[in-house]
Amino acid sequence: MGPLQGVRVVEFAGLGPGPFCGMLLADLGADVVRIDRRGARGGLLGSLGATSLLDRGKRSIALDLKEPADIAVVRALVERSDVLLEGFRPGVMERLGLGPEELLALRPSLVYGRMTGWGQTGPLASTAGHDIGYIALTGALFATGRPDERPAPPMNLLGDFGGGGVFLALGALAALLHARATGEGQVVDAAIVDGTAVLTTMIHGMLDAGVWRDRRGVNLLDTGAPFYDVYRCADGQFLAVGALEDQFYAALLEGLGVAGDESLPDRSDPGQWGALRERFTELFAARTRDEWWAVFSGTDACVAPVWSLLEATRDGHNRERGVFTEVDGVVQPEVAPRFSATPGRVGSVPHPGQHDEEIRAELGL
């Protein structure tokens, strides 16, 4: 049932990072009760699809938080829960009478997880935002893309899910360990700007060391280096190349058929990177993506095909390892990470209010 079996979580319906955090906990065995808005279709993510895979493995109760009787249901849920997750703007939960002061008095060991973009404090705390703005403010967006081109947002993976949901899950579990050791609950203030900034820690270290320039697309890991880039093949598809270390670069040249070619520009000289990229561009354009993959698959050249989202689900390695699974007819990512003794499980997606009677009965209502 997963390593979090027995952990009870209350999640207030929201968008993106909060539900993603709840999904991670549910995948690992926590009993996550999602409070959906009564009358909503497909949850608050209904506009993005008939179902949201971020709700998988959870149970749903539909409530109207303007009704005192339903606020009482929330309080009853909190009394028996370990973790609460909410993603409202600062002050909303307090106005509902469900702020940290009230709920920690009700349940002293409660981990009160708060998910926002800007944080609970600061001049932008009360303003609206989305992933693209949060990663812009931290400098992460500036650094993605090619020189002299507009920065390219990596969907909402970097901010919402990487800097937001994952850090909220980390914070919630760390606070839960503390609560179980001491009986003392606390507030976890997880802001996407905070988490995204932490993700750039290594780059800030490289900036300080003088081995990273504060420019886009001219560095070792941002497509500035021709041996860490993406190339178009004869069929218009792409290959990803990440041959950073010398031995991997040697394997790349071997696969390209240019090992020992003394006319090849020196990769250790950034001044020759442009000429080296031109040679690589010509070489990769001579064959299709799948032809090149037949050459490089199983080698240490650090070359991989750039699959589409659907192609990735059919990849041989992904299939053998079980990176994706099918539940209720929907192909989706499997649980990660993996546990040898207490494996997690992908659950079904509930519709809003599906477990109303069941949950109320558990609460004695």
Q: With left for phi above 0 and alpha for psi between -120 and 50, is residue 189 left, alpha or beta?
A: beta
Helix (H, G, I), strand (E, B) or coil at 229: strand
Report the relative pairing of strands 186-191 and 59-63 from DSSP bridges: unpaired
Q: How many CB atoms lie within 10 A of CB 265?
A: 17
Q: What's the CA gap between 309 and 314, in Å, rounded?
A: 9
Q: Of 253, 345, 326, nearest to 296 (Cα)? A: 253
Helices 166-182, 17-27: crossing angle, 10 deg rounding: 60
CA torsion 288→292→295→298, rounded to 10°?
Answer: -130
Q: What's the CA gap between 184 and 207, in Å, rounded?
A: 40
Q: What's the CA gap between 160 and 48, in Å, rounded?
A: 15
Q: What's the CA gap between 365 and 363, in Å, rounded?
A: 5
Q: What's the CA gap between 63 and 40, in Å, rounded?
A: 10
Q: What's the CA gap between 248 and 183, in Å, rounded?
A: 51
Report the relative pairing of strands 111-116 and 83-86 from DSSP bridges: parallel
Q: With left for phi above 0 and alpha for psi between -120 and 50, is residue 13 left, alpha or beta?
A: beta
Residues 6 or more apart whose Cβ sits within 8 Å of residue 339: 2, 3, 28
User: Which residues are catalytic, by number?
Assistant: 130, 160
